[in-house]
A and B are shown apart, each in its own frame.
Chain A
Amino acid sequence: MSLLTLHAVSKTFGDFTALKDINFVLDEGEVVGLVGPNGAGKSTLLNVISGRLKPSYGEVRFDNVLINGLKPQRICRLGISRTFQSSRLFAGMSASDNILAARLFGKGCRPRITGQDRDAARRALAFVGMTHKADTPAGDLTLSEQRRLDLARALATRPRLLLLDEIAAGFSPVLVKQAVSLVKKVRARGVTILIIDHFLNLSVRVSDRLLALDHGEKVAAGPPAEVLRNPDVMRAYLGLRHEGPGHTSRGKHAG
C-alpha cells in the first residue's frame, strides 16, 4: 500500500532547477534510502516533503491526501516527521523537554502536561539509550547524542513516515552500527522511513530500496545492490563523465 506518492515533482530557484520531474512511490512499512552526491537535490526533496519548501510543479500525496503547499506544522500533524542534518534541537531545553514539546504538539495542541506525557518522554529517551541525559540541556550533548535526541523528538510526534536527514554522517563504524540497529528498532514499530544518506554508510544496510538522485533527477531506484551497480549512479558518485554525449554538460550545476 502506498504511503507517499511523488508525482512529477519539480523545484526551481530562479533559473536553477533543483528537482526535475521526480516520480516515486513509498510503500507503508518500507525503509528507503535517498542517495546521491552533493547538490543532487536530496535535501530539497526532503524539504519539499516536510513542507519547508513548496514544489514548483507536481504533486506530493501522503496517504492519498495532497500535501504540497501545506505548512510544516500541518504536515507534521498528518504524520510526517523529520530530523535535521545540522543540529536544530532546542538547545536551552533539557533532552526530555525537547521530546515533551514534540509529544504535546505533534498531533495538535494539548495544554496540560500530564504524568503520562513525562513517562512517555522518558520511554522515548530510553528507546534511544539516553535515559541518563534526561535533564541535560540539548546544547550540551555530544554529536551522536544530539542525533539520537533529534530522532527521539521526531518519533515523539507519532509519525507514520519518518524522514532522517544524514543521521549517521561523520559517524565512526561503531556509531554507524548503533544507528543501524536504532533504525531497525524504529522500523519494527511499523514506521515507514526515508533516509537521506550521502555517504551510503547507513542506507545500504537497512534499506529495502534506494532512490538515487543526481542533478535533481532520478537516476535509479530499486534494491540497494542493483542501484549501486547502476552505471549512472557510479558515474554520479565517482564523477566519471566519459560515457556518452548526454552526460557531458552536467557537471556545471553541481554544488
Chain B
Amino acid sequence: MTAAERPVPYSTAPRERRTAARGGMLLTFVALAALPVVSGQNGYVLQVYTQTLLLASLALAWNVLGISGAVSLGHAAFFGTGAYVSALLSTIQDLSVWITIPLAGVFAAALGMLAGLICMRLRGAYFALATLAFVEIPRVITTNWDNVTQGSLGLVGLPGLPVLHWGDWRLDMAASSTAAYYFVFAYAVMVLCIVGIIQRSSFGLAFQALREEETAALSIGIPVSALRLLALSASAFFAGICGACYAHLVRYIEPGLVYGLYFSAIPMVLAICGGRFTILGPALAALVIYPLDQFVFHPLLPAGHEFLYGLALVLTVLFFPKGFWGYFGRTS
C-alpha cells in the first residue's frame, strides 16, 4: 500500500484561513495594547475596556470547565469568594495585594474542589442545576458572617491594585487607570495562554474525549473524574482571581453584587455565545458584547440594557449552537 506511506497533513484547515485568523488575533492584540494611547485621556473608555478584559478573563476561566462539556450557572460562587478573600485578607490581615490575589484564587479553587466533590456524579442539566444552588452557599455564609464581612452592607475603601516596583521605577496601578488597564490586560493574556497550552496538550484531547463519549474515554484510560475535578478547580481558581481583581479595581464589594446573578450569567453567556468548545470564542464574545452593551445599549436603555445578554444567549442557542467562533472560526 503506497497510500499508507504518504505523509498526511495534521490539520485540514485551509492555510489562508488560519493565516487570517492569526492576523486578526494579532491585530486585536495590538489594538488592545494601543488602546490607552489611542483613547487619550478618555477615562470612561479605558474603564469600560478594563472591565471588558476582566469579563473576558472570567469567561475564559468559565470555559476551562466549559470545554469539558459542563455548564456552570454558578461561577459567581468563585468570583465572589475570590473578591471577599482578597478584600478581607488585604484589609484585616493587612497583607500585600500581590499576595492576596493569588490566595483568593487558591481559596476559590478549594471551593471549586468542594463543589466538584458534591457534584461528582452529576452530568449535563443536573450539574447545571446543582451549580445554580451551590452559589447560594458562599453567598449566605458571607452575608451572615457579618462581624468579619460586614454582611450585606459590603466592604468599602478596599486597597487598590498593587504598586509595581522595578529599581527606581514605580508604577502605581491604583492611581493610574492606564496601569490598571494593562494589569488586567496582562491577566487576560495570561489566562488565554494557559488555556491555549492546556488545549494543545493531551489534556485538550482528553477534555474533548470525555465530553463526547465518557464511557469510551474511561476505557482508553482517561481519568475522567480526576480531570473533571481538575477542570472545575482550575476554572474556579482563575475566576477567583478575577473576583479579587474586581474587588481591588472597584474597591467596593457586597454579597448581592459579587455573588449575584450577573457574575454567574456573564461568563456563561459570553462563553456560550463565543463558542464554548473553542479557545478564543469566550474572549472574543467579551470584546464584542460588553462594549456594545456599555457604549450603545446602556445610554439608550439605562434600566434594562442587560437584556442584550439574554438576547445574545437565546439567539446563539437557537441558531448557532456552537457559538460564534465555533461557527465561523476554527474549533479549538
Indicate whether B14 reaches chain A with its CB closer than 8 angstroms: no
Number of interface residues of A (CB under 8 A): 44
- Cβ 8 A contact of B202, one of A51, A88, A89, A111: A111
Q: Is the CB of A153 within 8 A of B220?
A: yes
Q: Which residues of chain B are near A156, meaning CB under 8 Å?
A: 220
CB distance from A153 to the nearest CB of B (A): 6
Number of interface residues of B (CB under 8 A): 31
Indicate whether B223 reaches chain A with its CB closer than 8 angstroms: yes
For window 195-232 of B, CB contacts with A under 8 Å fall at: 200-203, 205-206, 208-209, 212-213, 215-224
Q: Is the CB of B221 within 8 A of A106?
A: yes
- Cβ 8 A contact of A82, one of B3, B219, B222: B219
Given contact pairs A126-B1, A131-B3, A131-B6, A81 touches B219 in the complex (Cβ within 8 A): yes
Indicate whether B319 reaches chain A with its CB closer than 8 angstroms: no
- Cβ 8 A contact of B209, one of A76, A81, A90, A110: A90
A106 to B218 alpha-carbon distance, docked (Å): 10
Q: Is the CB of A72 within 8 A of B202?
A: no
For window 158-172 of A, CB contacts with B under 8 Å fall at: none
Given contact pairs A76-B219, A90-B216, A109-B223, A101 touches B209 in the complex (Cβ within 8 A): yes
Indicate whether B30 reaches chain A with its CB closer than 8 angstroms: no
Indicate whether B176 reaches chain A with its CB closer than 8 angstroms: no
Indicate whether B299 reaches chain A with its CB closer than 8 angstroms: no
CB distance from B141 to the nearest CB of A (A): 34
Q: Which residues of chain B are near A77, meaning CB under 8 Å?
A: 221
**Which of B5, B6, B217, B221 has the most chain A CB atoms closer than 10 A to its own CB?**
B221
Q: Is the CB of A107 within 8 A of B10?
A: no
Indicate whether B12 reaches chain A with its CB closer than 8 angstroms: yes
Given contact pairs A105-B222, A126-B4, A132-B3, A97 touches B205 in the complex (Cβ within 8 A): yes
CB distance from A93 to the nearest CB of B (A): 6
Q: Is the CB of A73 within 8 A of B216?
A: no
Q: Is the CB of A129 within 8 A of B1?
A: yes
A157 to B209 alpha-carbon distance, docked (Å): 15
Measured CB to CB, the nearest residue on chain B to A106 is: B221
A76 to B11 alpha-carbon distance, docked (Å): 29
Q: Which residues of chain A are near B217, meaning CB under 8 Å?
A: 90, 101
Indicate whether B9 reaches chain A with its CB closer than 8 angstroms: yes
Q: Is the CB of B212 within 8 A of A92?
A: yes
Q: Which residues of chain A are near B208, meaning CB under 8 Å?
A: 90, 92-93, 97, 101
Interface of B: prevailing SS:
loop
For window 77-104 of A, CB contacts with B under 8 Å fall at: 77, 81-82, 84, 88-93, 96-97, 100-102, 104
A118 to B8 alpha-carbon distance, docked (Å): 10
Indicate whether A52 reaches chain B with its CB closer than 8 angstroms: yes
Q: Which residues of chain A are near B218, meaning CB under 8 Å?
A: 51-52, 71-73, 76
The A-B contact count (CB < 8 A) is 117
**Which of B3, B6, B212 has the most chain A CB atoms closer than 10 A to its own CB?**
B212
- Cβ 8 A contact of A101, one of B1, B8, B10, B205: B205
For window 102-123 of A, CB contacts with B under 8 Å fall at: 102, 104-113, 118, 122
**Which of B9, B10, B205, B219 has the most chain A CB atoms closer than 10 A to its own CB?**
B219
Q: Which residues of chain A are near B222, meaning CB under 8 Å?
A: 73, 101, 105
Given contact pairs A90-B209, A93-B209, A111 touches B220 in the complex (Cβ within 8 A): no
Q: Which residues of chain B are near A134, meaning CB under 8 Å?
A: 8
Indicate whether A135 reaches chain B with its CB closer than 8 angstroms: yes
**Which of A90, A106, A112, A113 has the most chain B CB atoms closer than 10 A to its own CB?**
A90
Q: Which residues of chain B are near A153, meaning CB under 8 Å?
A: 216, 220
Indicate whether A154 reaches chain B with its CB closer than 8 angstroms: yes
Given contact pairs A76-B221, A135-B8, A88 touches B205 in the complex (Cβ within 8 A): no
Q: Which residues of chain A are near B209, meaning CB under 8 Å?
A: 90, 93, 101
- Cβ 8 A contact of B220, one of A112, A122, A126, A154: A154
Q: Which residues of chain A are near B331, meaning CB under 8 Å?
A: 92
CB distance from A140 to the nearest CB of B (A): 12
Q: Is the CB of A129 within 8 A of B4?
A: yes
Given contact pairs A113-B202, A135-B9, A135-B11, A72 touches B3 in the complex (Cβ within 8 A): no
Q: Is the CB of B221 within 8 A of A89?
A: no
Given contact pairs A92-B208, A132-B3, A102 touches B11 in the complex (Cβ within 8 A): no
The 7 closest A-B pairs by CB, nearest first: A76-B221, A126-B4, A104-B202, A88-B216, A102-B220, A72-B218, A105-B221
**Interface residues of B, Cβ cutoff 8 Å to A:** 1, 3-6, 8-12, 200-203, 205-206, 208-209, 212-213, 215-224, 331
Known: A51-B218, A52-B219, A81-B220. 18 other contacts (CB 8 A): A71-B218, A72-B219, A73-B218, A76-B218, A77-B221, A88-B213, A89-B213, A91-B213, A93-B208, A96-B10, A101-B202, A101-B217, A107-B221, A112-B201, A118-B10, A132-B8, A135-B8, A156-B220
